[in-house]
Amino acid sequence: MTEHRDYQGAKMGMWIFLFTEILLFGGLFVLYSVTLGRYPTEFHEASKLLDVTMGTTNTVVLITSSLFAALSVVGLQRGNPRAAKGFILLTLGLACCFLVIKYFEWSHKIHAGLYPGGETLVQWEPGRQAFFSLYYTMTGLHGLHVIIGMGVFLWVWTRIAAGTCTPAHFVALENAGLYWHLVDLIWIYLFPLYYLIT
């Protein structure tokens, strides 16, 4: 009995899923825009409390990880599963780097009481409170997507190692790469919105 493979269906399913993700974050971006319009000065002042160096570093890290994700697909398509697995591991390594940087950034803010309900933040005006509430919500949700993407890449890596994801049947890796590019794209929007408000 042969295994049924519907690659067009798998790709279409991934694009539909990505569309729902765009709707999710799109709604949050609209909420951000409305709140920014209401508290422009407070958002500008609160943005200065974020670490631009860490944000910039994480941007470079994610863009580079997207490059490695794309190279993993190219490697498998060219009949080199070893290269594909290597680039997946590099992607995962940079994803871990992103999360570690975000951990230290969040830890510093939480230690200073700058989190929803925190002893410092509750004493500030509503605009700054709204800024940090949106910041934690959107970057936290994005971080969750990074973790999910890592899990997907680990699963694909095991499939390549087992010989079920091959140069002839690489849709699993291709879909993982598409998901990762969306995660990267979302961060490219989050970075200037929170770290570079002028």
pLDDT at residue 5 in the model = 63
Is residue 116 one of the residues assigned to a domain? yes
**Average per-residue pLDDT in the chain?**
92
Is residue 153 one of the residues assigned to a domain? yes
DSSP letter at 4?
A: P
Q: Per residue in 82-118, pLDDT tens?
A: 999 999 999 999 999 999 999 999 999 999 888 888 8
Q: How many domains does the chain have?
A: 1
Q: Per residue in 140-164, pLDDT tens?
A: 999 999 999 999 999 999 999 999 9
pTM (two decimals): 0.91
The model's confidence at residue 198, banded by pLDDT at 50, 70 and 90, is: low
CATH classification of the domain holding 97: 1.20.120.80
Is residue 3 one of the residues assigned to a domain? no
d(CA 197, CA 191): 10
* SS3 annotation, 110-168: HHCCCCCCCCCHHHCCHHHHHHHHHHHHHHHHHHHHHHHHHHHHHHHHHHHHHCCCCCC
- Structural domain including 117 reads 10-195
Is residue 111 one of the residues assigned to a domain? yes
DSSP-assigned states of every residue in 13-31? HHHHHHHHHHHHHHHHHHH
Is residue 5 one of the residues assigned to a domain? no
